[in-house]
Chains A and B, each alone.
Chain A
Amino acid sequence: MEARFALAQYRSRSGFGQLISRSTLAFAVVFGVLVYVLGASSDPRLEPLRRIALDVSAPITGFVSAPFRFVRDAMSNFSGFLDVYEQNRTLREDIVQLNQWREVARRFEEENARLRALHNVSLAPNYDYITAQVVGSSGGSFSHSMMINVGRSGGIGPGAVALDGGGVVGRVVSVGKHAARVLLVTDLASRIPIIVEGAGKKSTDEDTKDEIVRAILVGDNSAAPLLQFATKTEGIKPGQRITTSSDGGVYPKGLPIGEVERDGEGFRVRLAANFDRLEFVRILLDRTDRAIDADAVLIVSQPDENSEEDGGTVE
């Protein structure tokens, strides 16, 4: 094609050209410094810009990553195919065990529902989940975050907690219409109030409560975040379970995070979430309290009407 753009000669040696070039550079530097100062101070005025970038970049990143996901899934499927018989046998065993547990769970649900109805209790806030696909990572090596393909239209807002099958992954920090950014628990900016289960003294007296050891999980860009500011360190031992506390009101209480591991004089937390293969995450959706003021209803899924062995709604 012969068509050429008549662009001005690059870096012209004329005085005017040099002036333009230097002015542009000066503007760029001033603009860059201004954005950096605002960005470093987490100025909320930049938030709309982040939202727009999320909504625009998420579909592009998802599209570009499709071939890579295809190859990765194909490799995973192939390795799964190789041990399909072994998996089948394990799954059959699991089904038998899970059927037993299902019956136990149903009995407990029924009993709980009856007791709640008797006492007219107000339940703690309930949470729903929405599953989101991970469509982008932070890419850079200085921050740990990821993009997901669910935004305000999916009902999530800033502060929503993200989990995988194992435990807490992070929390939503920026929300676009159809995409959101999750700050991972490993990021330097991440601070999570936690409880170290089993680290406090058990009460021998019925009138006093067990001692609870609280601490802060501090991300430092490593695979195992630091455990700091513990209310008491004597009882903390490797292997103890770490869960979220509701201190600060950001995280709901009791979500699994990981286990304690020793790091010299201090402690770190081996995370339960699998960050190596994070394809989908569940986002917690906060629901309002609901008081039971009528007959209790089972929370378990509605049984098949044709099935004789399944129970029904408790009246």
Chain B
Amino acid sequence: MKQKSLSVWTIIAIIVTTITGLALSALPLGAGSGAAVWPNFTLCVVFFWLVHRPLGMPTLAILFIGLIGDLISGGVLGAGMLALLIGSQFVQAGAKALARSAFGVRWFAFGGFVAVVFLIEWILNSLPRWSPLPIGVPFAQFLVTVIAYAPVSILFRKVLRVGRT
């Protein structure tokens, strides 16, 4: 099956949503242990475009987004990037089937994608310290990220519809 080529509107939408997702993920809503548990919008953005417009989310773009995400977060550089890269390979493998499936299935698949990314990130962040990191906050962030995908997905689909008209 031939993949859809990208309109100018879609390319702009992908760039703007990616930048916004990265910035929203680093909102200053408290800091450290006092920070509100906030969704990782970058994962929502990457997953949506991987499924609906795979051409707009090639491997090198994912690598770049992961690198920027790591630089903004100030964590172990490369950990988030590798986790996103590996997680996205699973989504790319099933992207065609997911694009045709019901929303519930896509949402479930997004949960799996976030779980894989968080698990790899947790391992890669624990390795340099030779001790497992606490999993409480990452698990809470996993839950809010999965919940956040539903409104994000609805909003993005409307953006795509506007582009068609």
Contact = CB atoms under 8 A, between A and B. Distances in A.
A228 B141 CA distance: 29
A35 interface: yes
A11 B20 CA distance: 28
A276 B33 CA distance: 8
A25 B89 contact: yes
B71 A57 contact: yes
B2 A188 contact: no
Nearest to A281: B31
Interface stretch (B55-63, B97-105, B106-114): B55-63
Contact of A28 (B26, B85, B134): B85
Interface stretch (A135-143, A240-248, A294-302): A135-143
B5 A68 contact: no
Given A53-B71, A143-B76, A24 B28 contact: no
Interface string B63-88: 10011111111111111111001000
Contacts of A34: 78
B90 interface: no
Interface size class of A (residues with CB under 8 A): 35 or more
Most buried by B among A21, A142, A220, A278: A142
Interface stretch (A1-9, A87-95, A120-128, A208-216): A1-9
B7 A32 contact: no
A24 B27 contact: no
Interface of A is mostly: mixed
B28 A221 contact: no
B33 A186 contact: yes
Interface of A: 1, 3-7, 9-11, 21, 24-25, 28-29, 31-41, 46, 49-50, 53-54, 57, 60-61, 63-65, 68, 134-147, 169-170, 173-174, 181, 183-188, 220-223, 274-279
Given A3-B7, A9-B3, A36-B79, 6 more contacts: A63-B23, A64-B24, A137-B30, A137-B35, A140-B80, A142-B73
Q: Which 9 A-B pairs have the closest CB atoms?
A: A39-B77, A275-B34, A36-B78, A53-B71, A223-B33, A35-B78, A143-B75, A144-B32, A64-B23
16 contacts: A5-B8, A10-B54, A24-B60, A40-B124, A49-B77, A53-B71, A61-B26, A64-B23, A64-B27, A136-B72, A140-B40, A143-B73, A173-B74, A222-B134, A223-B33, A275-B31
